[in-house]
Structure 1
């Protein structure tokens, strides 16, 4: 979905004409606040989890805005753009091209829920997209950004002024992007380095930070995928050794004493062959209680 169709404007409309203007003079500028964190992930190849129900991004996108007109209202939009038309796979510790990419699903735009707001408000509080969720379900009705797994994306950010009725003034549209925010969409983390980096930097994944120590102490411990935020449950997975232990473990057979087995054999023979049971102990010698012969009846 293009930004033009997102605003319900056809390709030949004023979206490309840009003649309509409200006369406001501004010079929007956007700065990536947590650039260093994004750069750390970019070095090892940033991965973002996508699920049917939608998953929040980490690192979060945090922006600082400047150059806006304080009295005008603005709408902020994040749009996911395919970096290329290729599909990737993780092989021997590296991402390599696996073939031609799939057709891009819809939608790919997320309007910041605080939009529209005054330029003064945006420049004071800044922008983050913590409410945006990434999904691989093209039929979701929750407004999630739909992506293809194993494809490379980079978000770009649009700032557009809105008139008094909240409608965008398309002639004011400004677009920004950052190389550091590039990532590959995955349904499960492929690179252990990325997993460790997310655990080390995500405040909601602090329970996973001693995972190496735990693994050494307890080899069969259940390992989980760290959550992206505090309101999401971790995805629990069993280790290979744990699954094999369940599949190939010997069933527990109840142990029977030799004396009890012998009683069963003698009792069965006495009812089938109709011969007296020999070498039985007298009733006075037998232990008190209800025996096997009592169940089958004596001949």
Structure 2
């Protein structure tokens, strides 16, 4: 499902202007005869129009949307390493002010040793192999743990960042290492898609970003087949970020998540009447399902009861 309006309501128009200037956002970038396509460009652009937010946790949280590319123009017999880095988009720190993001000061200093890059798990590979498959960085995780030893991207909350894809030709006996994941040289190429920039948060700030994350949940199809209408999860268009309905889903900070199944999951099972107090249970008739009571779990970083009213 998608939002009932093709553009944000008036309360959200500020997201489309400074400090988040929305310029030309091509789906394909070309350099030195090599083309890189942002394969999930339509999803990124939809999130970008509202101001994409990514959750940080101590144990690491996967991105959604994540970066997924298709490459062409590589030398089929040349070996390449593909590396994703995430760098500051500017030198500011931000806060959410009811309806929009605003600058509140200079960005926090990040030691050079904490600036990491994420090599694709298949690197290095022949150009022919890269061109015959989609290149996905869905395994990458973001963290605010400055002492992280798991190889996750260490970022500061309330800052703007942007991913960069590095295409690095690899000679025999050469290539990126853990200490030097991005080897800069005359043959290395970097591709940056403006629509993939995002703000880092520990709690989602914009209710429309929450709604988009639900709408694009890959598990939603199974629920529709079971009779659960996706509009149960849809906030009213008339609501503004300042209303109780719009604020309630974003007041619970994200908990640490070490789930390798992705950033968002939905699961459902029958639950006894005396379910534990920590479970969120609803009657089967409320969800359009047979049976007595069901336990509904949505792992999308926020508390959901107000969205099901």
Tell me the TM-score range normalised by the shorter chain.
Answer: 0.5 to 0.7
1:159-207 CA distance string (max 9 Å, x none): 0011122425733100110111010000110000000011001214677
Residue 89 (structure 1) shift: 0.5
Counterparts in 2 of 1:200 and 1:212: CA distance versus 1, 3 Å: closer
Normalized per residue, the structure richer in strand is 2
Residue 55 (structure 1) shift: 0.5
Distance in 2 of aligned mates of 1:145 and 1:85: 18
Aligned residue in 1 for 2:93: 87
The alignment partner of 1:153 has SS state of strand
* Structure 2 residue 167 is the aligned partner of structure 1 residue 159: yes
CA contact (8 A) 1:76 1:111 kept: yes
Distance in 2 of aligned mates of 1:224 and 1:150: 14
1:20-53 CA distance string (max 9 Å, x none): xxxxxx7322111111111100110000001111
- Of 209, 214, 218, 1:199 maps to 214
Counterparts in 2 of 1:117 and 1:229: CA distance versus 1, 3 Å: farther
Aligned residue in 2 for 1:176: 191
Between the two structures, name the one with larger relative contact order (CA 8 Å, sep ≥ 6). Answer: 2
Residue 117 (structure 1) shift: 0.6
- Of 207, 214, 233, 1:211 maps to 233
CA contact (8 A) 1:224 1:234 kept: no
Aligned residue in 1 for 2:72: 66
Q: What TM-score does the superposition give when structure 1 sets the normalisation length? A: 0.63
Counterparts in 2 of 1:179 and 1:236: CA distance versus 1, 3 Å: closer
CA contact (8 A) 2:203 2:253 kept: no
Which one has the largest radius of gyration?
1
The alignment partner of 1:125 has SS state of coil
Q: What TM-score does the superposition give when structure 2 sets the normalisation length? A: 0.61
Residue 101 (structure 1) shift: 1.1
Normalized per residue, the structure richer in helix is 1
Distance in 2 of aligned mates of 1:129 and 1:46: 17
The alignment partner of 2:162 has SS state of strand
* Structure 2 residue 121 is the aligned partner of structure 1 residue 113: yes
- Of 188, 200, 204, 1:185 maps to 200
Aligned residue in 2 for 1:56: 62
Distance in 2 of aligned mates of 1:200 and 1:238: 14
